[in-house]
Structure 1
Amino acid sequence: MARGDQLSRQWKIIQTLVASTQGKTVPALADRLGCTSRTVYRDLEALQAGGFPITTENRDNRSYWHILNPSRQQIPLAFSIPELMALYFGKDMLKTYRGTVFHDAIDSLLSKIKATLPSAYIDYLDRIRDRVDAGPAPRKDYTRFGTIIAALNRAIIDEKKIHMVYFSMGRKKESRRTVHPYRLRHVDDTLYLIGYCALRKGVRTFAVDRIETVTPSDDGFQVPAEFDMKAFLQDSFGIYQGSPVRVKIRFLQSVAGYIRERTWHPSQHLSDQADGTLIFTATVAGIEEISHWVLRWGAGAQVIAPAALRQTVGRHAADMASHYRDAPADEDRETVSPPPSHERPIQ
């Protein structure tokens, strides 16, 4: 029997017992798992030996198996197993924010929890986690922004204004701003601050890794009752804001399958065509972000509307083509091996 099958079966036993308020008999577990009662007994004994709080209760001349629950037994069990697993996975998913309050807080919490668990219990959880890679590779190093993120988080909770120095990538210069911080938002491996900017006299979005300094203020603020964060973000294709624009994009058959796999925007509508192409329509905030998304698909995407988006994408495509129009000088040539035939150039 494969070790992975045994681990999967034992995890299903744990989930079943956690979800059951009355407990389960061995025959019932065996029927649910599609195995013999003898196999279930072996798994239950292995889980008990590993430190899991599993016990039996006799009722109507039958034995019912339980995961000990603090509402029934006087045993300190602060977290259920699914909750503990969620914390384990959550820590991996926050790798991008290692060195900040978000990652360090969950790391500290898990260390305290581990100190109360049997080693076999921890080993079992680690084995399960090794079979699910929940942690994306960090794309930005937020370690040096740990102090800034902590200050922003505290100001949001306390509803205090902040003074900050911000570097605008578009204008290529710094500016000093007073901001009412509303929320931190994670989008595409980047952390953003959303808040009212006194300089621009409106709600703006700031990339946290371009905030040079943050100085907390003693002045408080209140989020206006009429401000709706959900409505503010609903048309955004990521984080940027702009006037609502209805876009229509044709995707060739070579990439249409990738578009169908995901919900790219809440307002999207997908229409399959007889020739195998796919028409994508949505109402988005401005054309800046979606133009980058269209370019991601290369020649597999064709903008139908609006004209402004067609022109923007066409201009970028022409500029890109100009980089490759002439062959490089001999001294600049590099030998590049083509990608394996099974690898797609666009994902």
Structure 2
Amino acid sequence: MARGDQLSRQWKIIQTLIASTHGKTVSALADRLGCTPRTVYRDLEALQAGGFPLTTETRDNRSYWHILNASRQQVPLAFSIPELMALYFGKDMLKTYRGTVFYDAIDSLLSKIEATLPTAYIDYLDRIRDRVDAGPAPRKDYSRFGPIITELNRAIVDEKKIRMIYFSMGRQQENQRTVHPYRLRHVEDTLYLIGYCDLRKGVRTFAVDRIKTVSLTDDGFQIPEGFDVPAFLRDSFGIYQGSPVRVKIRFFESVAGYIRERIWHPSQHLSDQADGTLIFTATVAGIEEISHWVLRWGAGAQVLEPAALRQAIGRQAAAMASHYRDAPADEHHKDV
């Protein structure tokens, strides 16, 4: 029998005993698990050896198994192995936010859970973690923004306006803003604050890593009735805002398979062509964000509509070509 099946069955035994007020007999556990009483006895012995406080009580000439002090557990032992795996995997995916309240909170939660588990179960989960990995990827280091993220969380929960110094990448300058913070949103390894900006007189998005300082004010705010954050972001191709634009892009065979694999936008429509190409259409917020996406596919993508996006991609492609105009036709890597 697979080790994972055995542990899963033993975990169900623990859950059943915790949920039982008067305990369970071996035969009742066997019926519940669909196995033999002999198998249950082996599992109970293994659990006792692993450190679980199991005991028996005799009533009416029958032995009932209990788990001692189940009601005093700091964290209920009602987690399944897949649920614990998901928590560990989630922690791995939150590496971008190491040093912030997001990562620290899940790390603390897992530490509390581990305190209730026998060593054998922790070792098993460690082996699982070695086989399920979020993997390294280009990411921002949010550890130095931990205090800022904590203050933003407080402001959002308490509905307090904030004052912040923000660096605008487009304008290449810093300025002070008073913002009504609505929500934090994670998009492609970047954390954004969405809120009403008094300076710009409208709802704006701010990259958290470009917030230099932030302080809570005593002034409260309320999200306007009828304003819906998901609706506000519906047309965006990530986070950027703009007027709705219908785009039509041809993807050639070299990359069409990658496009079919994912849902890139809620409004997308894919149409396979007889020549093996793929037509992608969607209605998105402006052309700035989707232009970065089109350039990602290089010569494998051709913008058909709108003209403004075609021209923008054409200018970028011409500028890129100019960087390589003098490159030799055949270059070989040399050892340095």
TM-score (ref. length: structure 1): 0.79
SS in 2 for 1:81: coil
Partners of 2:334 and 2:38 in 1: how far apart?
59
Distance 1:79 1:124, change over 3 A: same
Alignment match, 1:226:
226
Alignment match, 1:141:
141
SS in 2 for 1:94: helix
Retained in 2: the 8 A contact 1:253–1:276? yes
Retained in 1: the 8 A contact 2:192–2:206? yes
Partners of 2:260 and 2:15 in 1: how far apart?
34
Alignment match, 1:78:
76
Partner deviation per Cα, 1:12-70 (whole Å, 9 max, x = no partner): 5468779999987489757xxxxx999998778656644578999xxxxxx9x99x7x9
Q: Alpha carbon RMSD of aligned pairs, Å?
A: 3.5
Distance 1:302 1:130, change over 3 A: same
Retained in 1: the 8 A contact 2:166–2:210? yes
Measure how far apart 1:137 and its partner are: 3.7
Q: Which amino acid aligns with 1:245?
A: V
Retained in 1: the 8 A contact 2:194–2:205? yes
Measure how far apart 1:9 and its partner are: 3.2
Alignment match, 2:167:
167
Alignment match, 1:340:
none
Alignment match, 2:191:
191
Measure how far apart 1:132 and its partner are: 0.8
Partners of 2:7 and 2:293 in 1: how far apart?
40
Partners of 2:87 and 2:53 in 1: how far apart?
19
Give the total of aligned pairs: 318
SS in 1 for 2:2: helix
Measure how far apart 1:145 and its partner are: 0.7
Unaligned runs of 5+ in 1: 31-35, 57-62, 338-347
Partner deviation per Cα, 1:69-97 (whole Å, 9 max, x = no partner): x9xx6463525323433322221111100
Alignment match, 2:118:
118
Partners of 2:171 and 2:324 in 1: how far apart?
29
Retained in 1: the 8 A contact 2:197–2:204? yes
Partners of 2:263 and 2:92 in 1: how far apart?
24
Matches within 5 A, 1:1-347: 6-10=2-6, 13=9, 25=30, 29=34, 49-51=49-51, 74=71, 76=73, 77-82=75-80, 83-134=83-134, 136-137=136-137, 139-327=139-327, 335=333
Q: Which amino acid aligns with 2:178?
A: T
Partners of 1:262 and 1:54 in 2: how far apart?
49
Partners of 1:140 and 1:208 in 2: how far apart?
11
* Identity value in percent: 75
Partners of 2:321 and 2:295 in 1: how far apart?
12
Retained in 1: the 8 A contact 2:10–2:43? no
Alignment match, 2:24:
none
Partners of 1:179 and 1:52 in 2: how far apart?
52
Partners of 1:92 and 1:322 in 2: how far apart?
41
Retained in 2: the 8 A contact 1:96–1:137? no
SS in 2 for 1:117: coil
Partner deviation per Cα, 1:129-178 (whole Å, 9 max, x = no partner): 22111355461111111111111111001100000010011110111100
Retained in 1: the 8 A contact 2:247–2:284? yes
SS in 2 for 1:225: coil
Partner deviation per Cα, 1:215-257 (whole Å, 9 max, x = no partner): 2101100011111111001111011011111111111111111
Measure how far apart 1:104 and its partner are: 1.1
SS in 2 for 1:148: helix
